[in-house]
């Protein structure tokens, strides 16, 4: 089971200037409608094909989606491969911080 982080905890870490490997696993249209500036978009539907973008030596991976379901699946998959993963509980529905739109 992956560790969890609330959206408030994530926002505080970002405000403190912490470097976070934040991955948004929503589909591209959801991403373009609004996402966290520091996030990278790797849709859940592409994780298996893009697994090489998650090097083992990389820091922990923080994963967010719309509500926490898809990010939980991504955490399960990447965790089984040996990555340290953290699921953002509540996802973007619970995010009250700044969002950017477009690519």
Mean pLDDT calculated for residue range 73-79? 95
pLDDT at 58: 67
Pairs from 9-16 (Cβ < 8 Å, separation ≥ 24): 10/36, 10/62, 10/64, 10/88, 10/95, 10/97, 11/95, 11/96, 11/97, 14/38, 14/97
Reported pTM: 0.94
- Catalytic positions are 65
pLDDT at 54: 84
pLDDT digits (tens, 9 = 90+) for 20-49: 999 999 999 999 999 999 999 999 999 999
Tell whether the model's pLDDT for residue 59 goes beyond 90. no
Tell whether the model's pLDDT for residue 9 goes beyond 70. yes
């Amino acid at each position: 089971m992956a560790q969890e982080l609330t959206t408030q905890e994530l926002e505080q870490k970002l405000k403190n200037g912490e470097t976070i490997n934040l991955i948004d696993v929503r589909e591209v249209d959801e991403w373009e409608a609004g996402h966290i500036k520091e996030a990278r978009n790797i849709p859940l539907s592409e994780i298996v094909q893009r697994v090489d973008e998650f090097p083992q030596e990389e820091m922990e991976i923080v994963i967010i989606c719309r509500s926490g379901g898809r990010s939980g699946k991504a955490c399960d998959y990447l965790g089984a491969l040996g990555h340290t993963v953290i699921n953002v509980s509540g996802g973007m529905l619970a995010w009250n911080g700044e969002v950017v739109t477009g690519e």
